[in-house]
Structure 1
Amino acid sequence: MRLVVLGLSLTSSWGNGHSTTYRALLKAFAARGHEVLFLERDVPWYAAHRDLAEPDFCRLELYADLDALGRYRAAIVAADAVIVGSYVPDGIAVGDRVLAWARGARAFYDIDTPVTLAALEAGTCAYLDPRQIALYDLYLSFTGGPTLARLERDYGSPAARALYCSVDPEAYPALGGAARYDLSYLGTYSPDRQPALERLLLEPALRAPDLRFAVAGPQYPADLVWPDNVARIEHLAPGDHPAFYAASRYTLNVTRADMVRAGWSPSVRLFEAAACGTPLISDRWDGLADVLEPGHEILTPDGPEAVLEILRARPEAERTAQADAARARVLARHSAACRARELEDHLEACRARPRGRTADLAFVPG
């Protein structure tokens, strides 16, 4: 299959989780014998932080603007399938071009589905127009559960299918070794994640100055005051994630508010930490039990006291058993190889269906 993907970024993991998702998925998809072209908008904030400038599993092309995208029109026309991702700059205009040019299956891959739907309702979504959802042959969603039915019922998607993030086990091995942190967190700052981070990590740190904590990720406010026992790391490239997880007795997963409300929205960090063999503590949301079993493969404490009880009093044998169980579950059901098979099945089914509507395009090709 010849696949073209227009995504936010493959080259830079700075300030986004899209790159690691695309890397794992497309590497595994290419390993199944498919040919992949990734088209990325060349923007300065990613140009300054590129950690995968030359992928060996796909062809990568950077384009400067919408006019430059026209150079790849022939590749889009000839592709068996084309995917446009969420948060692509000028994504609505890019989508209209793909919908007009592509002859193969046309899919939208939303790695931010609840955020997208909230923005659509507010009329502020810059990368997807509501009219386009019925035009894409396939809506691949980071979020499963009832959201899929909503995309089909309320927005007219002919086929909304879950395609969760995944992990490349080769890139995220279990390293072992001595832990430097009792509890860590890896993630870009987000105002709607911050209350959970404060409740489940920063408040425990304040109450337990003898324990060690770490927060890694960019874009946190400069005036944020960190407890003395919280190590602050501005940015970690994906290649450094396994060592960070290996240095943690436990690691924390917290979820954006829109995704908590929608449920069924597992973070890529959740899969990566589990693959590295680090036990997970998480906030709660509907659908979590479909991914990892609470109490056995992941822990969901209510607040600071419950977190400290885990860190201080939980037997080491239980901690190790949790890590082993979560790792086995993720490698069996949420590896990049599993997700690439799902993507292949979705695209093949899409190609077998009659094409739906093609009207309502704002862009008419010349």
Structure 2
Amino acid sequence: MKIAFYGSSLVSSYWNGAATYYRGLLKALAARGYDITFYEPDAYDRQKHRDIEPPSWCRVVVYEANSDALKAVAGRAGEADVVVKASGVGFADDEILAAVLDAAAPDAIRIFWDVDAPATLAEMAQDPGHALHRALARLDLVLTYGGGDPVVRAYEGFGAARCIPVYNALDPETHHPVAPDERFSCDLAFLGNRLPDREARVEEFFLRAASLLPGQRFLLGGAGWDDKPLPANVRSLGHVPTRDHNAFNVTPKAVLNISRASMAENGFSPATRVFEAAGAGACLITDAWEGLDLFLKEGEEVLVARDGRDVAEALAALTPERARAIGERARARILAEHTYEHRAEQVDRLFRRFVRSRNVEAAE
């Protein structure tokens, strides 16, 4: 099957947290025989901050961020068996959605793939004129990379024919143990861009923990933190390219995952960081959210904190030996149950079942 995928960026993770998800999932689908073209706009300086070149397993078409270029690439949707419009493209999202649905072949599977379902659903609840309200009747599937039953119920309540979570996962060829790197030496590291929906939680879970442990070293990675006041024991790195993520994860005694507020409230939304860290064999401390036990077991494969004091207490009590054991158990669990091969199998099964069902209906 041919897939036309319209998303933010495959080749750049700059201000684009979905890149790891896209790469892992599409690479695994390509290994199952899918012919994939990824269409991404030249926006937000992402092309100036590429961290991979176009891969062998997917064609990448970069188009100018203007209406003529948009129309041209949207028209290519008519060549595909599966047409995917992802959320958060970052340029003319509503126009792209309408254009690719108009161009899609009559028998193509039409999908909206939401990589930030809590935010999308909040917008839809507040805006009766939201483009998705109109588009849902034309979509065969809504896929999300998190959210569980609350997101499924919300989307189906808005009229989606079917909503299915396809969770983040691990690409073990990309995220794996490496040698430590002194650049990332510290007791606790956190990697995440500065976003309104995350900043207060970073202040509580990371910066408060640093203030409570002045004798320990903390490392902050991610874009947008340059003018943020930080405790004296916190060092800021700025953007960390994906090629350095393995070393960033394995070098500290522990790494911290902090969900955005909307993700934590909905639950069942493991960030790519969870799987990157586990894949590298890192000891992960995460904020608490419903559904975590589907992926990692608290106390054995991950440490869980309810606030910054919990983070500080967990870190203060953590020995290097226990940190290594937690990381090893987490890696084994994720490799056994949560790789992108597992997710691609799920998606492939879903697509083929959909095609069979449609063929049966056509024959009746």
Same fold (TM over 0.5): yes
1:113 is matched with which residue: 109, 114, 117?
117
SS of residue matched to 1:15: coil
For the 8 Å contact 1:173–1:242, the answer to whether it is kept is yes
Which residue number in structure 2 is paired with residue 82 of structure 1?
A: 83
In 2, the alpha carbon distance for the partners of 1:225 and 1:274 equals 30
- Paired residue type of 2:171: D
For the 8 Å contact 1:218–1:235, the answer to whether it is kept is yes
In 2, the alpha carbon distance for the partners of 1:301 and 1:316 equals 19
SS of residue matched to 2:305: coil
In 1, the alpha carbon distance for the partners of 2:319 and 2:251 equals 18
Q: CA RMSD of the aligned region, Å?
A: 2.1
SS of residue matched to 1:96: helix
Q: Structure 1 100/87 Cα, relative in aligned 2: closer, same or farther at 3 Å?
A: same
Provide structure 1 residue ranges, at least 5 long, that are not aligned to the other structure. 356-366
In 2, the alpha carbon distance for the partners of 1:164 and 1:269 equals 12
Q: How many residues align?
A: 353
For the 8 Å contact 1:144–1:161, the answer to whether it is kept is no
Which residue number in structure 2 is paired with residue 10 of structure 1?
A: 10
Q: How big is the shift at 1:303?
A: 3.2
- Paired residue type of 2:48: A
Q: How big is the shift at 1:241?
A: 0.5
Q: How big is the shift at 1:340?
A: 1.5
Q: Does 1:135 align with 2:138?
A: yes
Q: Structure 1 173/121 Cα, relative in aligned 2: closer, same or farther at 3 Å?
A: same
Which residue number in structure 2 is paired with residue 92 of structure 1?
A: 94
In 1, the alpha carbon distance for the partners of 2:119 and 2:128 equals 11
Q: TM (normalized to structure 2)?
A: 0.91
- Paired residue type of 1:204: A
Which deviates more from structure 2 when the two are superposed, residues 316-325 or residues 266-275? Answer: 316-325
Per-residue deviation, residues 228-259 of structure 1 (Å, max 9, x unmatched) = 21110111111110011111111111111111
Which residue number in structure 2 is paired with residue 363 of structure 1?
A: none
1:300 is matched with which residue: 301, 304, 316?
304
In 1, the alpha carbon distance for the partners of 2:326 and 2:36 equals 37
Which residue number in structure 1 is paired with residue 278 of structure 2?
A: 274
Which residue number in structure 2 is paired with residue 146 of structure 1?
A: 149
Moved over 4 A (4+): none
Which residue number in structure 2 is paired with residue 214 of structure 1?
A: 219
% identity of equivalent residues: 34
1:225 is matched with which residue: 226, 229, 232?
229
- Paired residue type of 1:143: G
For the 8 Å contact 2:209–2:309, the answer to whether it is kept is yes
Q: TM (normalized to structure 1)?
A: 0.90
Q: How big is the shift at 1:227?
A: 1.4
Which deviates more from structure 2 when the two are superposed, residues 71-80 or residues 235-244? Answer: 71-80
In 2, the alpha carbon distance for the partners of 1:270 and 1:313 equals 21
Q: How big is the shift at 1:221?
A: 5.7
Which residue number in structure 1 is paired with residue 362 of structure 2?
A: none
In 1, the alpha carbon distance for the partners of 2:323 and 2:342 equals 27
In 2, the alpha carbon distance for the partners of 1:147 and 1:69 equals 33
Q: Structure 1 74/133 Cα, relative in aligned 2: closer, same or farther at 3 Å?
A: closer
Which residue number in structure 2 is paired with residue 358 of structure 1?
A: none
Provide structure 2 residue ranges, at least 5 long, that are not aligned to the other structure. 360-364
